[in-house]
């Protein structure tokens, strides 16, 4: 009989008390944190607009991948408070508290270690920088609009609202003790943030305007993007429930195409990590259902992505994009198979998450490029050059 794949070191999570809100920084530490944010804001105000938007996309992509690294190294509770680390800004300042936690847990194999503390805090630092840059972007867009520059405010302020929600889910990930649904929604929040940032980035570009590629390319790109988002949610549900090793073998699961799976247990959404809503341990069959659902829907998502790539390849300017999309899909399938066959090694697992984010980026670009003349006309209006105003203008 297979052993339960949930890491035993996470058992201490069940004995802790979740908190809906916890702000751990002392006022002096919070003031230093605020000064750091103001420096990021200052840099964002001085940066040229296209570079600022491109930097946002780059950092968001990095954050999604690093978030996967946080989950896969069990570092989510490396600093069990928020937004600081034992009330401090850095793990260096919290050295004594981290050392004490390591002693109490009997070694660095538990939830807390210096390495895990740094992994968690670096993730928070990058997320904070992204939030500050989005705030700058919204402020600059509003300033430009009030001075009659042609720019739409929907996406900049949509990004601002979304990053605030994403920050709340980041806090709840820690304070609610890695509740699977919260962690999965936090992952999806990062993916949607990447999607919105990429769309905004494409809207600012003058070298990649939308094409009248026909309804097939446009609709299939959007449908494939929707299917990919569902697949990423299912993959996040596998990761946050530690169900990656519930199925052995590939393409079968435990030697069968009809494995013993408990679907109601696997997709009981609001519960604690490793537990059912009544407090009992989640059965192995529930974890099998989670893993098998991810594999089954991978077939659906792959068909949709290949159909979108075929529709894009019919148009010469989009053939390279279709080729990259096909390559990314093949690479993603290979990484998924290797994770099962090699017992879930860390680097391929992080790469599996990264390629998924890359595919979201590619399909977002594809949906933009195939969005037709109406969007092209609106983009041309939004891209009209306008003078900078006191260094805050939207320069293109």
What is the three-state SS of 304-320? HHHHHHHHHHCCHHHHH
Q: What is the pLDDT of residues 279-304, one digit of tens each?
A: 999 999 999 999 999 999 999 999 99
Q: What's residue 175's pLDDT? A: 82
Q: What's residue 98's pLDDT? A: 92
**372 versus 104: which is more confidently predicted?**
104
| From 19, 104, 105, 120, the catalytic residue | 120
Neighbouring C-alpha atoms within 13 Å toward the C-beta of 61: 18
How deeply is 313 buried, as exposed, middle or buried, from its count of CB atoms within 10 A (0-12, 13-18, 19+)?
A: middle
Average pLDDT in the 8-36 region?
Answer: 66
**What letter would DSSP give residue 10?**
G
Looking at the DSSP assignment, which residues form a beta bridge with residue 253?
256
Residue 22 has pLDDT above 80, yes or no: no
Q: What is the pLDDT of residues 105-115, one digit of tens each?
A: 888 888 889 99
Q: Rounded mean pLDDT of the chain?
A: 87
User: Would you state the torsion angle of the CA atoms of residues 335, 227, 378, 370, taken in this order, to the nearest 10 degrees?
Assistant: 70
The pair of structure tokens assigned to 303 is 């068909």
**213 versus 168: which is more confidently predicted?**
168
Cβ proximity of 91 and 117 under 8 Å = yes
Q: What is the pLDDT of residues 322-378, one digit of tens each?
A: 999 999 999 999 999 999 999 889 999 999 999 999 999 999 999 999 987 655 445
**27 versus 31: which is more confidently predicted?**
31
Of 156, 124, 177, which is closest to residue 52 (Cα–Cα)? 156
pLDDT band at 395 (very low <50, low <70, confident <90, very high): very low
What's the rounded Cα separation, in Å, for the pair 275 and 272?
5
Residue 8 has pLDDT above 80, yes or no: no
Residue 383 has pLDDT above 50, yes or no: no
What's the rounded Cα separation, in Å, for the pair 127 and 116?
17
pLDDT band at 38 (very low <50, low <70, confident <90, very high): very high
Q: What's residue 386's pLDDT? A: 36
Q: What's residue 371's pLDDT? A: 84
Average pLDDT in the 78-91 region?
Answer: 87
Q: What is the pLDDT of residues 173-224, one digit of tens each?
A: 888 888 999 999 999 999 999 999 999 999 888 787 888 778 899 999 999 9
Residue 104 a catalytic site member:
no
Q: What's residue 311's pLDDT? A: 95
Residue 73 has pLDDT above 50, yes or no: yes
What's the rounded Cα separation, in Å, for the pair 193 and 229?
12
Q: How far from the centroid of its chain's Cα atoms is residue 238's Cα?
A: 15
What's the rounded Cα separation, in Å, for the pair 258 and 256?
5
pLDDT band at 16 (very low <50, low <70, confident <90, very high): low
Q: How far apart are the first and last CA of the chain?
A: 62
What's the rounded Cα separation, in Å, for the pair 281 and 287?
11
Mention every residue, 6+ apart, whose C-beta is less than 8 A from residue 119. 69, 70, 73, 75, 78
Ranges 25-29, 59-63, 289-293: which has the least confidence: 25-29
What is the residue-wise DSSP string for 156-179?
HHHHHHHHHHHHHHHHHHHHTTS-
Q: What's residue 46's pLDDT? A: 92
Quote the percentage of the chain above a pLDDT of 70.
88
What's the rounded Cα separation, in Å, for the pair 75 and 241?
15
Residue 389 has pLDDT above 80, yes or no: no
Residue 249 has pLDDT above 60, yes or no: yes
């Amino acid at each position: 009989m297979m052993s339960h794949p949930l890491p035993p070191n996470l058992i201490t999570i069940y004995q802790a008390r979740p908190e809906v809100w916890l702000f751990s920084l002392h006022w002096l530490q919070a003031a230093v944190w605020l000064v750091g944010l103001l420096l990021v804001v200052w840099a964002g105000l001085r940066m040229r607009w296209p570079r600022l938007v491109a930097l946002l996309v780059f950092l968001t992509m990095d954050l999604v991948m690093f978030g996967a690294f946080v989950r896969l190294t069990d570092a989510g509770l490396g600093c069990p408070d928020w937004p600081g680390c034992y009330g401090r800004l850095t793990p260096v300042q919290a050295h004594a508290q981290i050392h004490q936690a390591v002693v109490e847990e009997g070694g660095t194999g538990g939830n807390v270690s210096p390495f895990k503390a740094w992994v968690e805090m670096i993730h928070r630092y990058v997320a904070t920088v992204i939030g500050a840059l989005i705030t700058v972007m919204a402020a600059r867009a509003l300033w430009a609009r009030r001075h009659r520059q042609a720019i739409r405010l929907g996406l900049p302020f949509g990004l601002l609202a979304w990053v605030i929600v994403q920050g709340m889910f980041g806090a709840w990930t820690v304070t609610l003790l890695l509740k699977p649904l919260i962690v999965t929604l936090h992952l999806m929040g990062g993916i949607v943030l990447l999607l919105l940032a990429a769309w905004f980035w494409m809207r600012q570009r003058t070298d990649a305007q939308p094409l009248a590629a026909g309804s097939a390319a446009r609709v299939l790109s959007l449908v494939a993007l929707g299917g990919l988002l569902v697949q990423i949610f299912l993959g996040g549900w596998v990761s946050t429930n530690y169900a990656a090793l519930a199925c052995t073998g590939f393409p079968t699961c435990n030697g069968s195409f009809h494995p013993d799976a408990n679907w109601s247990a696997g997709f009981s959404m609001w519960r604690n990590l490793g537990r059912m809503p009544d407090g009992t341990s989640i059965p192995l069959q529930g974890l099998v259902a989670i893993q098998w659902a991810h594999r089954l829907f991978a077939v659906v998502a792959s068909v949709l992505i290949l159909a979108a790539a075929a529709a894009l390849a019919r148009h010469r300017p989009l053939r390279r994009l279709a080729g990259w999309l096909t390559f990314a899909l093949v690479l993603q399938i290979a990484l998924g198979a290797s994770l099962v066959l090699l017992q879930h090694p860390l680097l391929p697992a992080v790469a599996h998450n990264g390629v998924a984010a890359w595919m979201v980026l590619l399909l977002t670009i594809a949906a933009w490029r195939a969005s037709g003349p109406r969007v092209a006309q609106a983009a041309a209006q939004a891209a009209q050059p306008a003078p900078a105003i006191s260094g805050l203008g939207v320069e293109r």
